[in-house]
Structure 1
Amino acid sequence: MFISRSALRAVATPLRAQRPVPALRYLRTTSGPTPPPSAASQAPNPASPDPSQPAAEPHRETQTGKTLSGESLPPLSADKPVETPSAPGGSSPDPTPSSAASSAASPASQVPPVDALSTRQNSIAEAFLDLHPDVAPRSEEEMRGSQFPGEKTGAKARGAGKSSIEKKRANLARAAGVMTVAGLAWAVYDLGKDWADVEEQKKMFARSDDKQAIEEAQEGGWLGWWGRLKIRAADHLDYLNKPAWDPLLPPPLPEPHYRPYTLVIDLEDMLTHDNWDLEHGWRTAKRPGADYFLAYMSQFYEIVLFTTLPSYLALPVIEQLDPYGAYIPWKLFKEATRYKNGMNIKDLSYLNRPLERTIILDTNPARFQLQPTNGIPMKPWMGTKGDTTANELVAMIPFLEAIAIKQVKDVRPIIKHYEGKHIPTAYMEAEAKTKKELLEKWEQQKKDTSVKGWISRLFGGLTSTTMSDAPPETDIERMRKTAQKLYQDEQKYWKDNAEIIQKQIEEDKQRQLKEMSTSLVGVMGFKPPPSAAPAQ
């Protein structure tokens, strides 16, 4: 607390004339509140220096600044009053009643202790900065260094003093580094080695869309090695975007179910169309001629229904299209697609079928972007009345059956030839042209009256004469008649035996449900619904 000037004046008044007044020093303690200054204490009262007093000691320099120590200040005694300096001119003001009252009311505890400044403890920061050797400034000798040439620094040589465990760790680290480098070298060699066979080459070329790498892989030497390395590395890095399994289909069926050609068709907007309205909700419409297309083309092609829909959405619709499973032997769903360029595509190289005998029909050309020469884009059928695209699917039958009848070795050049054209119209024109040329040739043979023609007809007999009287047919027309007859016989068989076939299907379902009780699913507690439980 502070001792007010009025109190000091009251104590020092009797002794003012007897002794000189020293300079007043204000002391501060750490306990007790500070009283508010009075009006008398705020009056200016400069201290006058006494020439008879000895000079004060110089301040000691520290790292925290100029801090006065206890020895540099004279002690204060409690038994001697503290005098205040006299006013200019030798006159001293009379004490006011307020100052006398305040001095009389001041308790003895307000008197500062003896040697208060000398006994004050420094703060932690002052003690640390003044006394800690790490903070003290370094001398010039320490800055220059005290080591002379030839003296030991105490450093150890590399590897000296290592324990056996540290040495083992270092050896293991070296061995791991060598094995890593060797593994990378072997991986680079394995990725760039020659193709195992022609099938691997075709498959890798079909799955890659890097045309430059394909061209390099077809070259020899280091350039071919570099191309194979890029193709195989891209195939490995694309693991998460690949179909769920490889290959997607098992080997082809044996005879008599074997078909040399594979036809991949879409479901949505190709065979069916989904529509929703307020009155009926969701409904699925079947495209006109879809049943005929599937039944007739199954005689020439192995049909694969490949859709981007999940299986739980597509299977109920497929069962309505092919209830007996006679026309669509294979069904592939969304998990069989490949994710590339931000969409699910259909990669035909995973089908385990030769691409030179595979055709895909789809409403979106981007779905077969990796094999564009195998695909025929179709206009989507929207399920509306009077849609001109409703008969486009049936109109594709003559073109597709001609490829199978002619036993084309590679379908891709033929599809490339019809690129950008309306295939049903363009093919019918080509077939009509072939038919016209055949009829013209037949007419020319009928008009041939030369001796060679007469002799050939004479030795040809009745059969030759009978055949020449009827217009000739092309190979495609003869095979088409045979296929139409087989289709009609097959439809008649399904119609006549529909009840028997349906009964067999139900018996198979009941048998499978009955076997569930002895299977792992039955042991786990999964039982068939009551409506589908087998009759006892």
Structure 2
Amino acid sequence: MLSRTIQHSLRRSAAAFTKPLTAATSPHLQTRTYAQQPPKDSTPAESEPILPTDATASPLENASTTTRDPPQDAAEQPGPSTGSRSRSKTGGDGLPRSAYVSSTDRRRNAMAKYSAYAALLGLVGGTLYLGRDLEPDEKEVHPTIGSGWDEFFVRVKARSNDFMSFYNEPPFDKLLPDPIPEYGRPYTLVIALEDLMIHSSWSREHGWRIAKRPGLDYFLAYLFQYYEVIVFTNQPEAMAAPILQKVDQQPGYIMFPLFRAHTRYVDGKYVKDLNYLNRDLSKVVMLETNPDAWSANPDNTVKLPPWKGDANDRDLVALIPFLEYIAAMGVKDVRPIIKDFEGTHIPTEFARREELIRMQLRKELGQKKTKSKGPPSWMVSALGMRPKDDQEEDVKTFMDLARERGQQSYLTNQKHLESHREDMLREQQQAEKEMAEQMKTSLSKIFTEGLPKQPGQ
């Protein structure tokens, strides 16, 4: 009986909970559907659907009342929260930009990054290595540089300059061999090649053409009697050597050629430093047209204007009396003489001074003649001799006599060379052939026996 009563009560309770709520049972509730708007900060794709609040609505009614358009792609219509940041990090189809980088590009980027790290590490390590304390042999070169961190950067700078000097300085401390006393030429004449001995020009019709200065052969042959002739050019050897072979043919008046490798490179300029010649600078004369080239030794340089290819030029031959005077007089130091003629046209100025000396000599000889007694002119004529007038007696100076000896020596040498030219050409060809054979033998020995060992090994 009790159990039936409990079951009846449970049925009534369940019926009360399952009964629909209406306006009659609950006057405060109304059957409305709230269509909630999405917030302004969110996109339609991000907002959640709002279900109706009608408790009596069936599942089918809920689905029909909440039907919406499908969400649009965020990449096509970005909201305020996405903005340009999403566009910069994604491509046109919404993928991140990293998705468009190939594996090859990734490897290249990684290699570039590792190379930058390695370069930075090498720079730091190299700086520390250059800044270490000086070795005993380095202290001899830099005695004022001490040790410790206070002079760390001083040591770095000193070692860096020493390293760069290997490329900026000449390859040897002595560019020429030691002079031979028996050679008989105590003076050295250094001549520039470009715009002094030759002139290069280019035209659309002919291309590159090289002209040799008028009188160059006579200039070299005549001064070869007094000077050790050196040609010093800032052109590479591969370009200048063939030109010198054409300019200085048999017998070869140029003793030693020097090229760009023998110059100093200072502030982007090629300097012809005569201190490396292994010659006494008081006996060295340099003919140069480039101010950068003579900057190390301006006192030894005869500064000449560049020759531009004029076929009627005679300045080079006109310079011979001045250079002959230096050698014939045996001056102890050529630098004061060159300094005295600086800023003048040397051939003209030297001829003017020589004429003044000749006039003074004429005057002195004329005064002596009035005091001295000699046979009368009629007696000289009776003996079959032609009397010399005053002008013929006093016209020759010391330089005139030296010039006569030089001319006679030049003619004798030219006659000797002309008569033995074939023999000399034959000897030169034989020497070139022997040199080529020696080079082949040396190369074959290197390939078969290896590099030659140092003496004592």
Bin of the TM-score, shorter chain as denominator length: 0.5 to 0.7
Deviation at 1:385, TM superposition (A): 4.1
1:491 to 414, 424, 429: 414
Q: Which residue of 2 aligns with 1:129?
A: none
CA contact (8 A) 2:213 2:311 kept: no
In the alignment, structure 1 segments of 5+ residues that lack a partner are 1-10, 22-32, 44-83, 85-94, 107-175, 194-231, 455-464, 526-536
Q: Give the alignment of 1:377-388 within 5 angstroms.
A: 377-386=303-312
Length-normalised TM-score, structure 2? 0.62
Deviation at 1:367, TM superposition (A): 0.9
Q: Does 1:102 align with 2:25?
A: no
Secondary structure of 2:242 counterpart: helix
Q: Which residue of 1 aligns with 2:265?
A: 339
Length-normalised TM-score, structure 1? 0.53
State the alpha-carbon separation in 2 of the partners of residues 467 and 236 from structure 1. 70
CA contact (8 A) 2:187 2:227 kept: yes
Q: Does 1:479 align with 2:402?
A: yes
Deviations 1:220-255 (A, max 9, x none): xxxxxxxxxxxx999847613111222111111341
Q: Which residue of 1 aligns with 2:177?
A: 250
Q: Which residue of 2 aligns with 1:276?
A: 202
Secondary structure of 1:519 counterpart: helix
Secondary structure of 1:283 counterpart: strand
2:435 is matched by which residue type in structure 1? Answer: Q
Q: Which residue of 1 aligns with 2:189?
A: 263
Q: Which residue of 1 aligns with 2:324?
A: 401
Deviation at 1:382, TM superposition (A): 1.4
CA contact (8 A) 1:442 1:472 kept: no
1:379 is matched by which residue type in structure 2? Answer: P
Deviations 1:361-419 (A, max 9, x none): 11112211111111111111111444xxx211111111111111111111111111111
2:173 is matched by which residue type in structure 1? Answer: D
1:315 to 219, 227, 241: 241
CA contact (8 A) 1:241 1:340 kept: yes
Deviations 1:125-151 (A, max 9, x none): xxxxxxxxxxxxxxxxxxxxxxxxxxx
Q: Which residue of 1 aligns with 2:286?
A: 360
State the alpha-carbon separation in 1 of the partners of residues 331 and 414 from structure 2. 28
2:363 to 426, 430, 440: 440
2:431 to 503, 508, 521: 508
The 3 A distance-change label for structure 1 pair 405 and 233 is farther
1:37 to 50, 53, 60: 50
Q: How many residues align?
A: 324
The 3 A distance-change label for structure 1 pair 442 and 384 is closer
State the alpha-carbon separation in 2 of the partners of residues 438 and 12 from structure 1. 154
1:400 is matched by which residue type in structure 2? Answer: L
State the alpha-carbon separation in 1 of the partners of residues 276 and 244 from structure 2. 22
The 3 A distance-change label for structure 1 pair 478 and 333 is same
State the alpha-carbon separation in 2 of the partners of residues 375 and 105 from structure 1. 107
Deviation at 1:472, TM superposition (A): 5.9
CA contact (8 A) 1:516 1:522 kept: no
Deviations 1:184-239 (A, max 9, x none): 8996676458xxxxxxxxxxxxxxxxxxxxxxxxxxxxxxxxxxxxxx99984761
Secondary structure of 1:379 counterpart: coil
Secondary structure of 2:308 counterpart: coil
Deviation at 1:101, TM superposition (A): 4.5
Q: Which residue of 2 aligns with 1:299?
A: 225
CA contact (8 A) 1:272 1:287 kept: yes
Q: Which residue of 2 aligns with 1:350?
A: 276
Deviation at 1:513, TM superposition (A): 3.6
Give the share of equivalent positions with the same residue, in percent: 36
Q: Which residue of 1 aligns with 2:254?
A: 328
Q: Which residue of 2 aligns with 1:219?
A: none
CA contact (8 A) 1:337 1:345 kept: yes
The 3 A distance-change label for structure 1 pair 492 and 325 is closer
The 3 A distance-change label for structure 1 pair 325 and 12 is farther
1:318 is matched by which residue type in structure 2? Answer: L
State the alpha-carbon separation in 2 of the partners of residues 233 and 476 from structure 1. 54
Secondary structure of 1:302 counterpart: strand
Secondary structure of 2:371 counterpart: coil
State the alpha-carbon separation in 1 of the partners of residues 163 and 214 from structure 2. 44
The 3 A distance-change label for structure 1 pair 523 and 410 is closer
Query: Which one has a bigger Cα radius of gyration?
Result: 1
Secondary structure of 1:308 counterpart: coil
State the alpha-carbon separation in 2 of the partners of residues 311 and 270 from structure 1. 18
CA contact (8 A) 1:191 1:233 kept: no
Q: Which residue of 2 aligns with 1:423?
A: 346
